[in-house]
Structure 1
Amino acid sequence: MLMTLIRLQRRHGRRVAPKDVAERLFQPPWMPVPVDPFIEGLKRFRVIAGLVTAVGVYTVVAGGFDFEEVIENLLTATLVLLFITPLSVGVLLLIWRRSAPIGTLRQPLLRSLRLLLYFVGSAVASFTLLLFAPRTGMFILLLGPVALWGLAFVACAAVRLNANFFGTAAVHRCLPPVLAAVTAWLTAVPDLVTGDLHGLGLTMGVVFILGAPVTVTALSLLEMHRLRRHLGVRLLGHPLASRA
């Protein structure tokens, strides 16, 4: 595996480390440039809180680190992304079309959808390999390094994508914080609804399960407030009128 990666690097003159591949694939030139250093700082904290939600901090607190449960949580979060992102954007499109045409948003929307599908496909493949590679006997010598490379790639991609949420900031700068908050809640709430508190008890379960999405929501609201106050960007305003 190592020799294969080295040959690929020599042949194409590009690095094949997970971080470099994630940067080339998920940091395209059409991503909007930062407009406010304070907002960029908020995004970093929001990314951390979102990753904590996806992993499930309570899996560590409630009696030990369960690797399979963490991977299952990540798979759940990935599938939530696949469904909730287009749905949320669709609702906002219905609102925006009342004030102006939305046909001009088609290209940035398709670009964002492409990034979303790339990420979901990579994540599902990597997490599935991580779950089943230990059970493949001698094949683990082949699948193990691939699965670990895939995990590192997905982690690097998630950090890059979470700030602008699959390039949706190119559509409307308020979309990333909104989608991050919605995804965080939909990832965490099912555990409360089903009563799956992982042995923490009601009070501690609520604190640890909802702590991350509450944090993501607070940071998202602060980010949107900053966008509205300093840049005039409003969530319900048409992207063309709110362009910054």
Structure 2
Amino acid sequence: MNAWNPGGQPPYDPRAGHPPQPGPYPPRIPHPYGPQLYPPHPGPPVSPGPLRRLWLRIGPIHTARRVFKPSRPGIVDDAFVARVQKIRTLVGLGAVVWMSVAYKVAQSVGDIADDRLSQSWNSVLMLSVTFPVAMGVLLALAAPSARRELLRRAARCFGAIVAIVAAVGVFPAAVLSGFVDGRFATSPAMAVVTYGTTILTFLWVVPFMFWGIGLALVHVFRTADIHETVPPLLAMTLVWEMTLVDLFTGAYAGVPGPLRVLFMLGAPVSVTAVSLWELHRLRAHYGITVRDMLMRQPS
């Protein structure tokens, strides 16, 4: 009680007996589970430094993607087909590893890895020989007016072949020339240049080579740049060629006969099935056929 409130009454509220007036914002309703914490608002993205940008542009992985992945404008990239191909590859790899361990085809995990790398490199070499022959057949069957365009599209495919062969050839060239042994390190300055260049070359070439071999096989030397139907056709051809090589070189020795036949036919049959399904999917969902690759008008 004071001079301003002699009766000790509660302070006068001009809004008493009247509904609350709406404010500029709706009333805050408490959350039934208590106050909620929200993550802080993310700040602006931090741009990489100049060295990081340079490495992202000329690094081995990024360069391998530019060299071995198809990039023709308007190309059809079916994610579902890529997922099925990846599953088939993983299942096939798992079966080979199981067979190698169960029947002691390989003595260690390192032997299995070396065998798979050797198999992949042999596939790259076989594909490097098969592709020019297939390109010659394609040019013979295509319409004469389309041959110049097909050759233009195939230029990057030939470039990818040259790139992977050159990357693998760096190592024997460095050894045979004496560069690795320091033959050119005739002075302290030349020693720094020689060994520094050797280290940088190996740090760049090794990732590029391994990544490039994988991408070259997955994208069949980026032959989708020619036409979307070329990769499945070449994949079927390559896998049956490699099966013939395995047959004549006695692959999977020590494995029981029926199981050996199953493993030797498993890869070509599964790849052929996936490739035929891919061709069907291209025709059914995108209207792309082999006739389109030949650029011939329907008769």
Same fold (TM over 0.5): yes
Measure the CA separation in 1 of the matches of 2:202 and 2:92. 19
Equivalent of residue 101 in structure 1, options 135, 141, 146: 146
Structure 1 window deviating more from structure 2 (228-237 vs 175-184): it is 228-237
**Cα contact 1:50–1:212 (8 A) shared by 2:** no
Find the counterpart in structure 1 of residue 123 from structure 2: 77
**Cα contact 1:164–1:176 (8 A) shared by 2:** yes
Equivalent of residue 286 in structure 2, options 224, 227, 231: 231
Percentage of matched positions with identical amino acids: 26
**Cα contact 1:92–1:236 (8 A) shared by 2:** no
Find the counterpart in structure 2 of residue 192 from structure 1: 247
Measure the CA separation in 1 of the matches of 2:214 and 2:73. 14
Equivalent of residue 83 in structure 2, options 34, 41, 44: 41
User: Deviation per CA, 1:57-87, whole angstroms, max 9, x where unpaired?
Assistant: 5655524342554443233222101101111
Q: Which amino acid aligns with 1:64?
A: Q
Q: 1:14: Cα distance to partner?
A: 2.1
User: Deviation per CA, 1:73-114, whole angstroms, max 9, x where unpaired?
Assistant: 23322210110111122222222237x532221211112111
Measure the CA separation in 2 of the matches of 1:94 and 1:214. 28
User: Deviation per CA, 1:147-178, whole angstroms, max 9, x where unpaired?
Assistant: 68645433422443444322211211110111
Structure 1 window deviating more from structure 2 (25-34 vs 197-206): it is 25-34
Matching of residue 204 in structure 1 with residue 259 in structure 2:
yes
Provide structure 1 residue ranges, at least 5 long, that are not aligned to the other structure: 1-8, 130-135
Measure the CA separation in 2 of the matches of 1:178 and 1:196. 25
Find the counterpart in structure 1 of residue 274 from structure 2: 219
Provide structure 2 residue ranges, at least 5 long, that are not aligned to the other structure: 1-49, 174-179, 182-194
Find the counterpart in structure 2 of residue 26 from structure 1: 68
Equivalent of residue 182 in structure 1, options 221, 237, 240: 237
Paired residues for 1:48-127 under 5 Å: 48=89, 52=93, 59=100, 62-65=105-108, 66=111, 68-97=114-143, 101-123=146-168, 125=170
Measure the CA separation in 1 of the matches of 2:71 and 2:116. 33
Q: Quickly say closer, same or farther: Cα 1:92–1:191, change in 2 above 3 A.
A: same
**Cα contact 1:75–1:124 (8 A) shared by 2:** no
TM-score by length of 2: 0.59
**Cα contact 2:69–2:219 (8 A) shared by 1:** no
Q: Secondary structure at the match of 1:102?
A: helix
**Cα contact 1:77–1:187 (8 A) shared by 2:** yes
**Cα contact 2:282–2:289 (8 A) shared by 1:** yes
Indicate the RMSD between aligned Cα atoms, in angstroms.
Answer: 3.9
Measure the CA separation in 2 of the matches of 1:151 and 1:210. 32
Q: Quickly say closer, same or farther: Cα 1:96–1:193, change in 2 above 3 A.
A: same
Q: Secondary structure at the match of 2:125?
A: helix
Find the counterpart in structure 2 of residue 10 from structure 1: 51
Q: Which amino acid aligns with 1:30?
A: R
TM-score by length of 1: 0.70
Q: How many residues are matched? A: 222
Q: 1:205: Cα distance to partner?
A: 1.2
Measure the CA separation in 2 of the matches of 1:213 and 1:123. 27
